[in-house]
A and B are shown apart, each in its own frame.
Chain A
Amino acid sequence: MSDTTTPRRSLRQRLHLPRLGVLFGLVWLGSLTILTVLANHVPAAVPFIRYYDSKVKVDGKVKKYGFGPGLDAWFGTGKSAEDIFARCIYGAKLTLLIGIGATIIGLVVGALIGVLSGYFRGWTDRVAGIATDSLMSIPPLLLSLVLVLRLDDLKEQYSWMGWISRPWQLSLTLGLVSVAPFARIVRAQTMVLREREFVTAARSLGASRSRIIARELLPNLIPAMVTVAFTGLGILIAAEAGLAFLGMGVEEPHTWGKMIDIARDDIEKAWWATAFPCLMLFLTVLSFNLLGDELARRFDIREAAV
């Protein structure tokens, strides 16, 4: 008699918790968001997060890079004796907002181009293809730098563009850079979907093309779009950090990229001032990637079942 069994299901499985990666991602992003929101709007709720500009004092003394990571300042202090941990939390706000803004812009424009070129094919597809291919051939870093600087110039020229603050500049720029990849993915998905029989069925029922796109295609594109949005968010946040590192970022409050930039000269003296913002960046991008993977897995399974 043979009897091969697999190990008993782990505790995690029995409690119906998701995978470790997803759990981590959710916990990390969740805590970060909560902390950053509270720090900015309800500071009283988070007394352990010092104010942005407050200096860390011990025994009445204020010293730059006074402390390493420890009880007084969890991530240590920075050049102006500010609390690195607090700065990291404050920095998260704009990083996340810019990342989300860029993703939304990129996704909306990209999805529009993708759906139209994937559904109509022919000339629409060719024109859109040329546009997106050209966009993708320009090195994204170069493009972002040029656009941000150009917007700076334009702002001085035209006062009506004054509302485009730095965060908006970054969102628009990064959004534009991400249009092409989003468009390609949505186009590929659209081309697959339009051959499915439920689209033919809708045509045979007399549905107009716009109705088919809106009611048949888009709901089925949303899973792929959401998955790609999460992974894209990770990339765009890293991109924002890169731009901030190069000095193109927001002036105040400092985002992680800028924090790394400021502290990098003193990396030997005070490694914590560089290391912790790097860690924050890494863990945040990782979380978005992990969540994106999990979404992809879930939607794939759904698609497979269908």
Chain B
Amino acid sequence: MSPTTQAAIRDTDAPLLQLTDVTTHFRTPRGLVRAVDGVSFTLERGKSLGIVGESGSGKTILSRSIMGLLPTHGTVRSGSIKYAGREIGNLGRKEMRSVWGREMAMIFQDPMTSLNPLMKIGDQIAEPLRIHLKMNKVDAWATARKLLQDVRIPEPDRRLHQYPHELSGGMRQRVMIAIAMACGPTALFADEPTTALDVTVQAQILDLLGEQRRERNMSIVLVTHDLGVVAGHTDEIAVMYGGKLVEKASTRRLFAAMKMPYTEALLASIPKMSDASHTRLAVIPGRPPDLVNPPKGCRFAARCPYAQEKCIAEEPPLTVTADDPDHSYACWFPVGSPEYHEARARLSDKKNTVEAA
């Protein structure tokens, strides 16, 4: 990418990331797996978006689709992905290489396998600096040292000369963040970055990511299954289920006024510290939908306690709420609608009669 195009990317007012009807399917022996099916959203510069979902929801595939990190064989993609106004969805590997590292960076769940076990930490951080920013080795290592300080690794001089196996899991994840930050990207994709870490280390890493975001005015896309993590560290949340985006809102709004029964059910099934001991957890019955033959209507209908016939027959479109243009959801009878209350009443009646019996 030429320097002028790069400058253009950094100055433009267009939203940093704009997805329109992004679809990713995989050809497998079993059939076409519709991992991501028509997802659209925008992300502004400097904001953080949490993509929440369980395994099979398509959240990881979505972030890799945006990054362009999908296997070439057997993948069917469509839809538009615009990065700072520029279409990147159809770029080949070669063109994407100039985007990776410089504009978009990614950190993964398992830092042990994401770091090269045979390369010193210093070399690994210096690598993007030397390739993308054309630094010489001395400058690159000096920058690497500063980056280690930024990510709050003590004794950076010693660590630069160590190998990944000599570092703990939390430290390795910090190194990964340092590598990702090396060229000052405008967007960072974090795919379950703290799932494998202890809870105290998780808090440190999330805090670090937030700090880096503010300092660099960088956007973060945080992919996770943990609603607690997104509650404290994101501006907006997108909930995915069965390959579709089912709800998107600002974080505060989502927790205060969620519309999707799935979001509600997910929240109810998590054990919380504020609950008393032996609180019965509300379980979502059944299993996620088969992505090869997804149901015709709403993909959550089979497990939704409030599902009606319309839900099974027709797929609900993404609707914007009347009072908040940033809050969209895909449900025929969302939380708060009259049908929802009726269904709830019926359910609790049933529960009472069962208990009474």
Contact = CB atoms under 8 A, between A and B. Distances in A.
* A–B direct touch in complex (beta carbons closer than 8 A): yes
A4 B77 contact: yes
B87 interface: yes
Interface in B285-310: none
Q: Interface centre among A1, A2, A5, A9, by most B CB within 10 Å?
A: A2
A6 B76 contact: yes
Contacts of B75: 4, 6
A2 B87 contact: yes
B269 interface: no
Contacts of B79: 1-2
A2 B75 CA distance: 13
A303 interface: no
Interface of A is mostly: loop
B55 interface: no
Contacts of A1: 78-80
Contacts of B74: 6
Contact of B72 (A3, A6, A9): A6
Interface in B72-119: 72-80, 87, 89-90
Contacts of B72: 6
Contacts of B87: 2
Interface in A1-26: 1-6, 9
Contacts of A9: 27
B76 A5 contact: yes
The range of chain B's interface size is 10 to 19
Contacts, number: 25
Contacts of B76: 4-6
A47 B96 CA distance: 65
Contacts of A3: 77-78, 90
Interface in B41-84: 72-80
Contacts of B77: 2-4
B21 to A, nearest CB: 9
A146 to B, nearest CB: 43
Contacts of B80: 1-2
Contacts of A4: 75-77, 90
A6 B73 contact: yes
Contact of A2 (B27, B73, B89): B89
A5 B27 CA distance: 10
Contacts of A6: 27, 72-76
B292 to A, nearest CB: 15
A190 B52 CA distance: 40
Interface string A212-237: 00000000000000000000000000
Contacts of A5: 76
A306 B75 CA distance: 24
Nearest to A5: B76
Contacts of B89: 2
A9 to B, nearest CB: 7
Nearest to A4: B77
A6 B27 CA distance: 9
A173 to B, nearest CB: 42
25 contacts: A1-B78, A1-B79, A1-B80, A2-B77, A2-B78, A2-B79, A2-B80, A2-B87, A2-B89, A2-B90, A3-B77, A3-B78, A3-B90, A4-B75, A4-B76, A4-B77, A4-B90, A5-B76, A6-B27, A6-B72, A6-B73, A6-B74, A6-B75, A6-B76, A9-B27
In order of increasing CB-CB distance, the 3 nearest A-B pairs are: A2-B90, A2-B89, A3-B78
Given A2-B77, A9-B27, 17 more contacts: A1-B80, A2-B78, A2-B79, A2-B80, A2-B89, A2-B90, A3-B77, A3-B78, A3-B90, A4-B75, A4-B76, A4-B90, A6-B72, A6-B73, A6-B74, A6-B75, A6-B76
